[in-house]
Amino acid sequence: MSEIKVSGLHKSFGKVHVLRGLDFEVQKGEGVILLGANGCGKSTLMRSICGLTPTDQGEILIQDQSLQKASRRKVMAMRNKVGVVFQKFNLVGNLSVFQNVLYGALGSSRWGLLGCMGPFASQEKREKVMACLERVSLADKADRKAEELSGGQQQRVAIARMLMQEPEIVLADEPIASLDPKSGQEVMELLWDVVQEQGLTVICTLHQLDIALQYGERFIGMKAGQVDIDARKGAITKAELEGLYRGQVRVDAPENWKGVSELQTSAA
Ligand SMILES: Nc1ncnc2c1ncn2[C@@H]1O[C@H](COP(=O)(O)OP(=O)(O)OP(=O)(O)O)[C@@H](O)[C@H]1O
């Protein structure tokens, strides 16, 4: 059983046919980086997989369950297995860091929103929030308003909220696009560490190729609404990337990245 299976997926917005028969599978525990030029449909695909954007044709299976055929209730349960980290953090700025992380438990709360309100949350939930904040090194900021934190810290809060949800799959859409290079590198390292230590399946879109090549184990490149590249770490070539982005790409892959020599020699 694959963790995610996308078959013949189509999606249009009016006359814009964005996804044109997309097919791929992701196995449990895989770390996939999704690449492609602006507007090729990466976010549309991510939103479709987490059930936020309805598709026109084709099927998405999450752990063998069809998102398209499932009842509303079942879709909600499937959604709860999928944690998301977005470029814009999506925190409630004027609420505390603690409260924002507590909202991660909303999908599994027997008491709905009430069970995720600070004063009413169980001791167990409160302890778990603090453990998630410890994991992202922000336990000391629990009482601060989310909007008072830096961008990098806010994205770490979003990662803690995702951990609170206890997902099995993580979709990270441009998680470092709003951050400076140093904070971006730190957040990416943290995100990849937490998904790996928990054995989670992750699909992450990134525009920074050097960082993508550093972390990805598998690369899926989208072009014209279909899968154009599907390659393992070290097997992707610069020529393929240039085809994907329709032009020259500059890749400053880290020195310790094994695929770097292949990448450079394939440029000729
Ligand atoms: N809700 C929407 N309504 C209308 N058009 C949309 C909507 N969402 C996306 N699109 C269009 O679908 C196309 C793909 O957009 P999408 O955001 O999925 O691309 P992307 O690959 O994630 O781009 P980027 O790398 O710039 O984030 C674009 O032409 C976009 O304008």
pLDDT tens across 196-227, in order?
Answer: 999 999 999 998 888 998 999 999 999 999 99
41 lines ligand 1 (CB under 6 A): yes
Ligand 1 site, residue 36, Cβ cutoff 6 A: yes
Contacts of residue 124, Cβ cutoff 8 Å, sequence gap at least 6? none
With b meaning 16 or more CB within 10 Å and e meaning fewer, what string describes 45-61? Answer: bbbbbbbebebeebebb
Atom of ligand 1 nearest to the CA of 47: 18
Per-residue pLDDT band for 51 (boundaries 50, 70, 90) equals confident
Its ipTM equals: 0.97
Whether residue 40 has its Cβ less than 6 Å from ligand 1: yes
| Per-domain boundaries in the chain | 24-54+71-81+168-268, 91-166
Residue of minimum CA distance from atom 3 in ligand 1: 13
Closest ligand 1 atom number to CA of residue 222: 21
Q: Which of 11, 18, 223 is the pocket-test mutation for ligand 1 (most atoms within 8 Å of CB)?
A: 18
> Helix (H, G, I), strand (E, B), or coil: what is residue 128?
helix
Q: How would CATH label the architecture of 24-54+71-81+168-268?
A: 3-Layer(aba) Sandwich (3.40)
Which residues have CB under 8 Å from 70's CB, separation 6+?
A: 78
- Tabulate helix, strand, coil % of the chain (nearest 5): 40, 25, 35
Q: What tens digit of pLDDT does each residue of 176-190 get?
A: 999 998 999 999 999
Place of tokens 């499932």: 70
Q: In this model, does residue 255 exceed pLDDT 90?
A: no
Q: How far apart are CA 83 and CA 101, in angstroms?
A: 13
Nearest atom in ligand 1 to the alpha carbon of residue 207 is: 25
Name which residue sits closest to atom 13 of ligand 1, judged by CA.
39
| Residues 6+ positions from 203 with CB-CB distance below 8 Å | 4, 26, 32, 33, 34, 46, 49, 169, 170, 171, 172, 220
The one-letter code for the residue type at 70 is: A
Rounded CA separation 225/231 (Å): 17
Q: Cβ neighbours of residue 154 under 8 Å, at least 6 residues apart? A: 89, 91, 146
What is the pLDDT confidence band of residue 147, given thresholds at 50, 70 and 90? very high
Distance CA 170, CA 84 (A): 6
Q: Is 120 in the pocket of ligand 1 (CB under 6 A)?
A: no
